[in-house]
Each structure stands twice: as structure tokens, then as C-alpha cells.
Structure 1
Amino acid sequence: MVDIVIEAEAWEAHGVPELAERAARNTLAHLGLPEDAEIALLATDDARIAVLNADFRAKEAATNVLSWPAGDLSAEEPGGFPAHPVADFPGEPAFLGDIALAFETCAREAEAAQRPFEAHVTHLVVHGVLHLLGYDHICDKDALLMERLEVEILGELGFPDPY
């Protein structure tokens, strides 16, 4: 379900394919969505994600995670639930979109928060998948919903509340 391109070698030692697959599947299952959806994930470094962040968000800095939904599933009302993804072709899984993770930023944040790297990256993948599904944190109602879902999903995966 998660097609991963490892662009930065530092990711190789951290089992990101299995970690991302588990996080994505559990996020979809928690929301009652089919687990056969497809996601593309780029495991990259700060230099590359800074370019992507500048190109797509006009922010000249590295960030931990970026996501590009394949479609707009956003809820119509703040704090509401987004629409369910639909496959482009009958019988095929829905393509949800792309996620990119930056190794150095993820590692720095995990260390600063005194959290295991695996827990932090799992949180970021869950966060990215929720964005692909139309969840956001622009207004307070949406942020509370998204954070609650993240805490619930991470708890099901055996990770503590990151907030």
C-alpha cells in the first residue's frame, strides 16, 4: 500500500518501509477505510525537503513532513469529517497522495522531545496520512479533531501521546 522511495541513505537503518506501512494501514483501519489504498512516500533529507517546501509552500526551510493529497477530501464544516477517498477506476485501490519525510529534522525533533525515533516518525506518517485524507489543523476545531485521532491511532500502535 505504501510505495517508498528512499532517497537519503540515513533512512536505511531505521526500517522506514515497515514503519510507514504499519502507520498508514492502522490510520486507515482506525477510520474504517479500506486498507488497500495507495500512498507514495519519499524518505529524504533536509536539503531536498527544503527545496520541496520552498516550491510548494513558499517556505525557505526544511520541515519534518510534507503531504500532497491526490484530491480534496476536506470537510465542509470546521471540525467535521472529510469525505471518503474513491478510486479512479472500479476495482482499483484509491491513490491518496504523496508524503515526504526529512531525516535530519525528524531525528533532531525526536531527540529534542526525548522520544524514540520510531515513535516520532510513526506520528509523522500518521499525521501525513490524515492530511492526505482531508484532515487539517488550520482552525482550532480541526486541530483538536486531528490531534485526537493521532493520539488514538498512536495509542493503538503502542506509542504514547506525542502532545
Structure 2
Amino acid sequence: MQPLSIVVAVEADGWPEGLEQITEIAIGEALSQSSAKLAGVAELSVVLADDATQRELNKQWRGQDKSTNVLSFPQLEHFSPVSGLIGDIILARETLEREAADLQVSFTDHYTHLVVHGFLHLLGYDHETEEEALVMEGLETQILATLGIADPYADS
């Protein structure tokens, strides 16, 4: 059994083929560059959903009646050793497509960014304060650069 098992569940139409490998590479790089330490066999799921599903989850768990690009549901204490069930990352296809077009980046690059972003949330990183955002966004930028993806925060 692999030390880190990633289950990618396609639960909506329209998602392109080949995202499992991109997901594994992105999460592997995020794990290696973060402060997280793998402390045993670990598992996480990445759910490829649609805007309707994402809107319901966002409303139920965050009180926001709208879709969002990515939601993370951690099962770990923040910054604890990584083992067991890490959590779930849920992505909304239509929102991701729209944002990629608006940002003039490829779907794959934006998908990779959101997977990294969601995974860092599972580990305990956040962006609620300016200081947290600087740390998290800096780490995302570093991880994405290693994967050959431009800084998503360069113009923000």
C-alpha cells in the first residue's frame, strides 16, 4: 500500500480525462514542500463535482449560498503529522472553467493550483489574515513554480 493514497472521484459530467495523474503530482509536490510530515499511511479524496453540488456544500458548511471553486474538509488537526484520513477536496467544474478563462490560464494549470490550494487547507494553512495569506500564497507559488506553472497571485 502507498504511504499516501489519493482517490479521485468524478461525480459530474464534463471533467477532462487524465486529472488523476495531475492530482497525484500536485499533491505530492505540495506535501514535499510544506511543513507536513507523513507519519504513516494516509488517504484523501478529491471530488470532481459541479456548481450545483458545490453551492449546496458551500451553503451547508460555510453559510454562503453560491458555488465556489474549491472546498476543503480537513480531518486532521492543523499542522499535525499526516496519517489516516486527511480529508476531502471538492472542486466545481463550471466555476473552475470560468475562472481559468477569466484569468487567461489553462484549465489544467488552474486545476493544479486549486488542488494545491485545497490540499494546503487540509494541512492547516489558511488565508484569513494578511500574514496567513502571505505564507500560504507564497508556498502555493513556490509549489506551482516547481511544476512549471506561473504565479497565480502575480497580478492580484
Q: Same fold (TM over 0.5)?
A: yes
| Matched letter for residue 6 of structure 2 | V
Contact 2:113–2:140, Cα closer than 8 Å, also in 1: yes
Cα distance change on mapping 1:127 and 1:72 into 2, 3 Å: same
2:148 aligned counterpart, secondary structure: coil
Cα distance change on mapping 1:17 and 1:2 into 2, 3 Å: same
1:52 aligns with 2:57: yes
Cα distance change on mapping 1:148 and 1:66 into 2, 3 Å: same
CA distance in 1: counterparts of 2:42 and 2:142, whole angstroms: 21
Structure 2 gap segments, 5+ residues each: none
Deviation at 1:19, TM superposition (A): 1.4
Q: Which residue of 2 aligns with 1:71?
A: 76
CA distance in 1: counterparts of 2:118 and 2:144, whole angstroms: 13
Contact 1:85–1:133, Cα closer than 8 Å, also in 2: no
Q: Which residue of 1 aligns with 2:24?
A: 21
Contact 2:76–2:82, Cα closer than 8 Å, also in 1: no
Q: Which residue of 2 aligns with 1:76?
A: none
| 1:119-147 deviations in Å (ceiling 9; x for gaps) | 00100000000000000001111000000
Structure 1 gap segments, 5+ residues each: 74-82, 88-93
Q: Which residue of 2 aligns with 1:151?
A: 141
Contact 2:7–2:46, Cα closer than 8 Å, also in 1: yes
The CA RMSD over aligned residues, in Å, is: 1.5
Q: Which residue of 2 aligns with 1:38?
A: 43
Q: Which residue of 1 aligns with 2:121?
A: 131
Deviation at 1:36, TM superposition (A): 5.6
| 1:21-42 deviations in Å (ceiling 9; x for gaps) | 1111110011263396321111
| 1:46-91 deviations in Å (ceiling 9; x for gaps) | 0110011011111000000000000221xxxxxxxxx23243xxxx
Contact 2:70–2:118, Cα closer than 8 Å, also in 1: yes
CA distance in 2: counterparts of 1:148 and 1:7, whole angstroms: 31
CA distance in 1: counterparts of 2:106 and 2:45, whole angstroms: 24
From 73, 85, 94, give the equivalent of 2:81: 85
| Matched letter for residue 6 of structure 1 | V
Cα distance change on mapping 1:86 and 1:160 into 2, 3 Å: closer
Identity of aligned residues (%): 44
Contact 1:53–1:61, Cα closer than 8 Å, also in 2: yes
Contact 1:4–1:17, Cα closer than 8 Å, also in 2: yes
Structure with the bigger percentage of strand: 2
How many residues are matched? Answer: 147
